[in-house]
């Protein structure tokens, strides 16, 4: 991870140096960010245990050094996340397939691989990711409008909704030990939220 992180920082620095005159144009900067994001998403998707979120932190860390608008960093993060969803199935189907003893608990894609239909599993995964992307784009705009308009209505009762969700999560735990663990986890996350929610943290990108 350290080696990959160093390579990412070096790549971004080199790209920023070569494209410094053109990076002032938001369109060119966004395209440059997309190109870097595609490369990072390919790495995170094909390397087991590496996620695009790790690159998002690295990109945020070097954003202040990029000689262009912050939209380039956002484009790189979005492109990396999108490409990651298409490629992360490859190591899952090649390295994570269970043996015959664990076959009853295999996922549907693993069952296809065990049946000699690995290419079909990859094809179906790619089609599913593509269909989800095509569906997400037209749904995002109206859904955002609904959430923006509806949030002021439920804001005053949001605490009641969250309390109901927490009670339901704790109530549905199967054992007393699990219930106790759920209570401890919720108490710890609540304490962490109260400690950091209203704090002001500095960063390379504006809030």
> pLDDT for 35-45, tens place per residue?
888 988 898 88
95 and 135 belong to one structural domain? yes
116 and 183 belong to one structural domain? no
d(CA 106, CA 123): 18
97 and 156 belong to one structural domain? no
- Per the structure, the count of domains in the chain is 2
Range of the domain at 160: 152-196
3-class secondary structure, 77: helix
pLDDT at 109 over 80: no
pLDDT for the residue numbered 67 = 64
138 and 172 belong to one structural domain? no
Residues 6+ apart with CB under 8 A from 104: none
pLDDT for the residue numbered 23 = 52
d(CA 184, CA 78): 35
- Per residue in 19-65, pLDDT (tens digit) is 555 555 677 778 888 888 898 889 888 888 788 888 888 777 776 66
**Computed over its alpha carbons, how large is the radius of gyration of the chain?**
22
pLDDT at 99 over 60: no
């Amino acid at each position: 991870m350290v080696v990959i992180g160093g390579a990412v920082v070096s790549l971004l620095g080199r790209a920023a140096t070569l494209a410094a005159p053109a990076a002032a144009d938001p369109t060119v900067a966004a395209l440059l960010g997309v190109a870097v994001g595609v490369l990072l998403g390919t790495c995170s998707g094909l390397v087991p245990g590496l996620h695009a979120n790790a690159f998002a932190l690295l990109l945020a860390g070097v954003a202040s050094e990029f000689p262009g608008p912050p939209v380039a960093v956002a484009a790189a993060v979005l492109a990396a996340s999108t490409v990651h969803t298409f490629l992360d199935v490859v190591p899952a189907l090649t390295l994570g397939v269970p043996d015959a003893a664990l076959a009853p608990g295999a996922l549907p894609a693993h069952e296809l691989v065990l049946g000699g239909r690995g290419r079909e599993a990859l094809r179906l995964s790619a089609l599913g990711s593509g269909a989800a992307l095509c569906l997400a784009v037209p749904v995002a705009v109206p859904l955002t409008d609904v959430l923006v308009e509806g949030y002021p209505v439920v804001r005053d009762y949001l605490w009641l909704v969250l309390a109901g969700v927490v009670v339901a999560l704790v109530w549905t735990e199967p054992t007393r030990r699990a219930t106790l663990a759920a209570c401890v986890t919720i108490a710890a996350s609540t304490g962490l939220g109260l400690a950091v929610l209203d704090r002001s943290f500095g960063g390379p990108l504006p809030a």
